[in-house]
Chain A
Amino acid sequence: MDIRHNRPSPTKFWNWFNPVGRQTGGWAFILHRITALGLTFYLYLHLAVLGQLAKGPEGYDGFLALVRNPIAIAGELLVVAAGILHGLNGIRIILTTFGLSVTRQKQLFYVLMVIALVVILIFGSRMFTA
């Protein structure tokens, strides 16, 4: 990717998600940024919802009864998947920070994403059958 393409600018927001002309590193970037924004939104929603615990059994168990349906579980799996993808791609970022696997990061990215897919499938089957 052209280095000028990555210069900070107020108008760059939609470019972050533009799939045109991306190579592996560009896709890793999109994946990391979308999951980052999604997980940040979920984190604060999650913390607010857990406030129900302070209200005792009625509040919390009532909320859980509300979300124990396939649509809510699919949403929860999406969050779990985002966490796994962000975390495993993050391992690659940490390694390159310390100069490790810099020239092999494309292969590393593919391996991590295969692991992510397997782990997501395990969580998915567990969440929908439990």
Chain B
Amino acid sequence: MSINTQSVSAPRSGENTWLWLLKIVTGGLLVILLGIHLVVNHFMDEKGLLTYADVVAYYQNPIIPIMEISFLAAVVTHSLTGLRGIVLDLKPSRIFLRVFDVILVIAGVSVIVYGIWLVLVIVSKG
């Protein structure tokens, strides 16, 4: 069987190589960070993080806010670069893509700022 362009992962036509690479790298990071996130939430102790007090106590270990903020930044970046890739499959016009890019950047920055604010609020309740 010959290897054609479809059997390997590569940027789409019109997809920025650095954005594509960012999607791949954040994807790899997420396999690790989402793995930790799921294990902590479902397996860490008998009940997981099922009350407000549990969550606040969990965030008092400084590793946790750092890990959660990294996780947030990676997952938001991955979801938005992924969404851009999906939209590119619909062959958007140049103007549409330019507007969409601005929306993605504003959305990404806002969500990450919101997440950092929320993490700091939770830490401060301890």
* Residues on A facing B (Cβ under 8 Å): 1, 3, 6, 8-10, 12-13, 16, 25, 33, 36-37, 39-40, 43-44, 47, 50-51, 53-54, 56-57, 60-61, 64, 68, 80, 83, 87-88, 90-91, 93-94, 96-97, 99, 102-103, 105, 123, 126-127, 130
Main secondary structure of the interface of B (DSSP, over half): helix
| In the complex, chain B residues 30-58 whose Cβ is within 8 Å of any chain A Cβ | 30-31, 34-35, 38, 42-43, 46-48, 50-53, 55
B83 A83 Cβ-Cβ under 8 A: no
B98 close to chain A: CB less than 8 A: no
If A10-B91, A83-B34, A90-B31 touch, does A61 touch B3 (CB 8 Å cutoff)?
no
A56 vs B6: C-alpha distance when bound (angstroms): 50
Q: Mark B78-90, 1 if CB is under 8 A from A, else 0.
A: 0100110010111
A90 B27 Cβ-Cβ under 8 A: yes
A47 B114 Cβ-Cβ under 8 A: yes
Q: What residue in chain B is nearest A80 (Cβ atoms)? A: B38
A105 B7 Cβ-Cβ under 8 A: yes
Q: Report the minimal beta-carbon distance from B60 to chain A, rounded to whole angstroms.
A: 14
If A43-B75, A80-B38 touch, does A51 touch B118 (CB 8 Å cutoff)?
yes
* Residues on B facing A (Cβ under 8 Å): 1, 3-10, 12-13, 24, 27-28, 30-31, 34-35, 38, 42-43, 46-48, 50-53, 55, 72, 75-76, 79, 82-83, 86, 88-92, 111, 114-115, 118, 121-122, 125
A83 CB contacts on chain B under 8 angstroms: 34, 38
A53 vs B56: C-alpha distance when bound (angstroms): 9
B42 A127 Cβ-Cβ under 8 A: yes
Q: For B8, B52, B53, B92, which residue has the most chain A Cβ atoms within 10 angstroms?
A: B52
